Amino acid sequence: MNRKAGTYSIGITQHCPEIEFDVDIVHWAASATLNEHAAESPVGMLSKRVTAPTPPVGALSKRATAPVPPVGVLSKRATAPAPAVGALSKRATATEYEISVLLTDDAEMTALNSEYRGIDAPTDVLAFAMREGEDCSAMHPMLLGDIVISLETAARQAATAKHSFETEVAFLTVHGVLHLLGYEHETPQEEAIMFAKQEATLRQLRLREISS
């Protein structure tokens, strides 16, 4: 499924049919995060200053350390000058961003986590930013990257935290999109900035109770 929200193209694929889930929640959370933070983000600022260095975007879960793009895993667009998948726009402007979201199960998440982070276990969310690495000059400038969310892990975490499954997935979506926009939490200063952005979006979505 591909949805267009203003100047944002968000493609959503679900590989976990045994869990019933309204993908509009992901679209809602991703759009809100982009609306709230894209313009002033590291990637957003880069779009205004084309000679600026590549922003420090990393691969994510809450524990991710390796910034490895998923070439051939979610997107076949890694070497293309512009995306040509689904309903994504072919005429992007400086304010148009494109992301893909994969909703999957623990088995597929474990495989991805093992391949790209060397951890043979599922995690809640991974983000693969396209605007990173040694040479991203061939990329479409506003192709942000891919987010992977394990719905099975999200369901467990929601039960532990005693909030709804939909709330947990929305939270993970916000967290992943912020990573695609260039925010990190490797240092206390980075964490303070990123989590403030996250808090602002969760407050807008009325999900502030899960931000701590």
Cβ 108 vs Cβ 70: under 8 Å: no
Q: Indicate if the pLDDT at residue 24 is higher than 50.
A: yes
Ordered domains of the chain (ranges, CATH):
2-72+97-204 (3.40.390.30)
The yes-or-no verdict on residue 144 having pLDDT over 80 is yes
Is residue 162 over pLDDT 80?
yes
Burial of 39 (0-12, 13-18, 19+ CB in 10 A): middle
pTM over cut 0.85: no
Measured distance CA(205)–CA(199) in Å, rounded: 10
Per residue in 193-208, pLDDT (tens digit) is 999 999 889 888 887 5
